[in-house]
Amino acid sequence: MSQIQVRAVLVTAALALVAASALAAGYTDLEDEVQEFTLDNGMRFLVLEDHSVPVFSFSTVVRVGSANEVRGITGISHLLEHMAFKGTSEIGTEDIEAEREAMRREDEAFAALKAERNKGPRADPDRLAELEEAFEEAKDAAREYVVSNQYGEIVEKHGGVGMNAGTWTDYTQYFYSMPSNRLELWAYLEGTRMRDIVLREFYTEKDGPVTEERRMRVDDSPMGKLYLEQFQNLAFDANGYHHSPIGYPADLANMTRADARDYYDLHYIGPNITVAVVGDVEFGDVKKYAREYFADIPGGEPREMETFEPDQLGEKRLVLRQDAQPMLMLGYKIEGINHDDWPVYQAIADILGQGRTSRLHTRAVKEDQKAVQCAAFAGFPGVRYRNLLTVIGIPAKDVTATELEEIVLDEIDRLVTEGPTAEELEGVKRRAKANFVRGLQGNRGLSSQLAMTQAMTGDWRNLFREVADMEAVTLEDIRRVASEIFTEQNRTVAMSEKLES
């Protein structure tokens, strides 16, 4: 085993040893242990020291996702996530000046190809072939200067583990763990990655892995086609939840490196970024390195959502016929995470369809045997803005989505008319506390929860209020909110049915 592999194994083992650190301290005490500071550029850092083992984890949450996109550049947030690990002007290149010139010629070649391609049926086939060949040559020329995966190799060489990222509607998140004696290296890598992004291999990544990911998750996936695209498109008229993070094919094909740079400069600014560091670190050291390596990230005013989702005027319904397993989705509009009724939405979803004792699982799966899966959850496809309390069901063999819908609507009506039982609400509160404590286990979980809560709610302290907020939910709250949201006018239904032979 190499030294690199040994170091990675040791870090992984150390992370396992701190899996119960939150429980050992008692989650009610953790809030007092979190320290914070904000740089002049508006970038916020949260630090929780845990010196039990010599490792730390971090989570960087940027408050930008597909909800911030407009038509023409859908999928760009996800593409920028892929770009983040391509390196900087110092990492990932043989010759940055020569590479920049090659990328400029690549951009010009793509612009010419795009102009001809967008003529549609009037495009000259011979000219298209010529421009496509020139573009491929320009891409190859730009790649000659690339040192592939150098950023990731540096992280791994110094014991980093779990390097990954994710993009969704409300956020983009980056994370990994490192030995505590690599704190300054981490600050350099993360800080320079954010302030000195090069966007190298932009067209290669866009036309390759990103487009392939869309094909696998949506185009060739009957479930993804309904769940990640058609249902969202139908449910939302105005706000950015109308489209998924995967983007539309035409937008992916046509967006340029300049589009990505403009979007990055607009949203990757200090006030949109929260970094949480948890583990064997000193608060003073984190602050010192943050000032050294993150202070040059631009500040500015965040571009907030200005187009809000209007009230729905009537039921929306879609039936998608395809040669695949039938599927059912129902969505009811609810308000975002900072609304007073957010814990009530969560409680309703839990009673309806979370776990094997929930009403939908008991009725549809166990008793009537009309479904192989039936669940409910609040917060699709995001949480910051008006979103959906969603029910998703997979009918059993020879059962249609329409038949399953009848059962779901019957259970929803029963909850509205009869309300929940005291035992059901007590179970919700018990599970909420257990899930909350479980989410705090380990440096990785803590850093993610802290950064995400700050980014989504505006105050990381809300993380430690979740249990109390759920404890305050009453039977009357659930009856009131259920009667408000579970109306035909507020309902969106999308289902897939098998093609008739």
C-alpha–C-alpha distance, residues 492 and 478, integer Å: 21
- Taking the mean position of all CA atoms in its chain, how far away is CA 219? 20
Confidence at 19, pLDDT banded by 50, 70, 90 = very low
C-alpha–C-alpha distance, residues 96 and 91, integer Å: 9
H/E run at residue 299: none
Q: Are 172 and 71 in contact (CB under 8 A)?
A: no
Residue 343: pLDDT above 70?
Answer: yes
User: What string of DSSP letters covers 44-82?
Assistant: EEEEEE--SSSEEEEEEEES-SGGG--TTSTTHHHHHHH
Alpha helices in 36-182 (DSSP H): 76-83, 96-117, 125-143, 150-157
- Taking the mean position of all CA atoms in its chain, how far away is CA 10? 29
Share of the chain above pLDDT 70, in %: 94
Confidence at 440, pLDDT banded by 50, 70, 90 = confident
Average pLDDT over residues 84-105: 97
The whole-number pLDDT of residue 282 equals 98
The whole-number pLDDT of residue 474 equals 98
Least confident of 38-52, 72-86, 218-232: 218-232
3-state secondary structure of 378: strand
The whole-number pLDDT of residue 26 equals 59
What is the chain's mean pLDDT, rounded?
A: 93
Share of the chain above pLDDT 90, in %: 88
Least confident of 10-24, 130-144, 368-382, 420-434: 10-24
Average pLDDT over residues 7-15: 45
Confidence at 16, pLDDT banded by 50, 70, 90 = very low
Residues 353-371 have pLDDT tens digits of 999 999 999 999 999 999 9
CATH architecture of 316-497: 2-Layer Sandwich (3.30)
Q: Are 352 and 365 in contact (CB under 8 A)?
A: no
Strand 273-279 vs strand 35-38: parallel, antiparallel, or unpaired?
A: unpaired
Domain boundaries, the chain: 316-497
Average pLDDT over residues 24-32: 72
The whole-number pLDDT of residue 11 equals 47
Strand locations in 230-380 (E) = 273-279, 316-321, 327-334, 371-380
Q: What are phi and psi of 2, to 5 degrees?
A: -75, 165
Nearest 10 degrees: CA dihedral of 318, 320, 325, 328? Answer: 0
Residues 477-496 have pLDDT tens digits of 999 999 999 999 999 999 99
Rg, Å, the chain Cα set:
25
C-alpha–C-alpha distance, residues 28 and 103, integer Å: 52
Three-class SS of 240-263: HHHCCCCCCHHHHHHCCHHHHHHH
Token output for 6: 């040994």
Confidence at 13, pLDDT banded by 50, 70, 90 = very low
Q: Are 239 and 68 in contact (CB under 8 A)?
A: no
Strand locations in 381-474 (E) = 387-395
Average pLDDT over residues 452-479: 97
The whole-number pLDDT of residue 305 equals 78
Average pLDDT over residues 56-78: 97
Q: Are 331 and 236 in contact (CB under 8 A)?
A: no
Strand 327-334 vs strand 491-497: parallel, antiparallel, or unpaired?
A: antiparallel
Average pLDDT over residues 431-456: 93
The whole-number pLDDT of residue 24 equals 44
User: What string of DSSP letters covers 260-274?
Assistant: HHHHHHHHSSGGGEE
The whole-number pLDDT of residue 501 equals 57
Token output for 175: 């994370």
C-alpha–C-alpha distance, residues 265 and 300, integer Å: 10
Q: Are 157 and 224 in contact (CB under 8 A)?
A: no
Confidence at 8, pLDDT banded by 50, 70, 90 = very low
Average pLDDT over residues 372-383: 97
